Structure 1
């Protein structure tokens, strides 16, 4: 009887300067983290980090994975990435592409690739307790890199492992940064561990949309800015600032469609919102998660110079928490 392997929650990295020594290094890819599961019949399931089923949204990936594994069950950890100009990751294009059932035109215009960077199960064997080096070697032997919708991105260790040089390559190619992984590290499902250390080149923050302000000028009648929040340790949604830049016209239209049905009479935030933001606010149920870039935090706990990047359908609002006080 066919058996679909269970989802493996993703292992997460801490942020810091990349260590040197017995470590491997990979580039950070700008996309949606996903778990790809293949049954021994070739049936495939693609699941986001927060458990959403993305199987129907990326048929070019799910259609290729089963046959490539030759009847072996498998679980892979990786990133869904839309490739834009010059073959570089384009998060905006990934936003455009994310549809439950994309049509042929969208499939052709926005190619998406599954960047597989870890192998967690093969056949009946779980590999999570195996060291990183063994998992990577097993992943590379699968031959997925020869498929159009798949890539096994490079990993560097030994003489090739210069994190400073790799960061400069990432910067020059518009990548998100690098991740250092200790060579003997097991895979710790669902845990954030210092066995993995990420070094991003810019600061991103996942945020919950709690409201919006009407626009002016060419945005009159629509959304001008979003009011953002994150949950504190007591479960209250705290206001952390607003964002009014980084939106395309299509993004604003999509946001209006998403937020319209979520309208509510009062603020969802568990504390004060600055008067100039609250005065004209249109409040919404805090269910929509997005991502912004920002420079730093202000002294009163607000994001400084936030720029909208897009929606995060792979996350749920309850997962979005405030960073520790020392990080804001």
Structure 2
């Protein structure tokens, strides 16, 4: 049995045009993990990191000899939807105590089978590996025909998105392959700009990312920072607008990480994002542009 196995990765993109050639899976919002089952259990992540002691709830599913690929998730007890915010409480706990296990339990969502009963399955097509996985009857989430409207269904349920996988694709450990495409659901909202994080590298001397907030009854509340989606022209334009608004202290009521440059919260922008965490942070934000038609007081949580 090979050990460790690097997970195969998907590229970000849109739904393929030739959708009949693909199977669609729900994209689970968690931590990628490979299970090595051979007289015991070892759990590894990217680059062979050993997660076995972090997630003692994960079992062998009663399978004596196999390698499974899947996702470790922590489900919200009210909605049943994976919560990355809940999982963050467990991600760095090497030996979680019983109270942590009870408060933030995890589950494993297997979606691929790479090795079974002494035989490697890497070269089998995805559809065949999934058929073998389903025969194990270990509760693997289903995949759907490429023509199904799974993306809209996940959006309506508040899930992160989907992964489209070619039915004839082999498994290539550690490779980010166009055979797998992840398509995320995005929501948009306005944010108030309260500062910026100085840039590094090619952004040295300018804006690296924007510090975002929204108003609550307590005042301006930090909701995250965004650096994705900012073109060079947009960065130059924002720098020219924000420099005259600089102030010596943070305008946010709550603590903001890192050493930042602060501004009067007078500009409103729009971002797309995948979800809001329990800490009320926008996850995976992408800058869409300024909203001069909005005033900061309108931007509330």
Runs of 4+ in 1 over 4 A off after TM superposition: 228-232, 243-246, 273-284
1:86 aligned onto 2:70: no
Q: Is the CA contact (8 Å cut-off) linking 2:6 and 2:45 kept in structure 1?
A: no
1:304 maps to which residue?
Answer: none
What is the alpha-carbon root mean square deviation over aligned residues? 3.8
Question: What secondary structure does 1:87 align onto?
Answer: coil
Alpha carbons of 1:14 and 1:279: their partners in 2 closer, same or farther (altered >3 Å)?
A: same
1:41 aligned onto 2:39: yes
Aligned runs of 1:1-328 on 2, under 5 Å? 5-19=3-17, 20-38=19-37, 40-42=38-40, 44-61=41-58, 64-65=59-60, 68-70=62-64, 72=65, 74-84=66-76, 85-98=78-91, 99-145=93-139, 152-157=140-145, 161-163=146-148, 165-202=149-186, 227=197, 239-243=208-212, 283=259, 292-297=283-288
Structure 2 unaligned regions, length at least 5: 189-193, 216-238, 251-257, 261-280, 291-301
Alpha carbons of 1:283 and 1:180: their partners in 2 closer, same or farther (altered >3 Å)?
A: same
Structure 1 unaligned regions, length at least 5: 146-151, 205-223, 233-237, 247-272, 285-289, 300-328
Alpha carbons of 1:114 and 1:6: their partners in 2 closer, same or farther (altered >3 Å)?
A: same
Give 1 or 2 for the bigger CA radius of gyration. 2
Higher normalized strand content (fraction of residues): 2
Q: Deviation at 1:27?
A: 0.9
Alpha carbons of 1:49 and 1:6: their partners in 2 closer, same or farther (altered >3 Å)?
A: closer
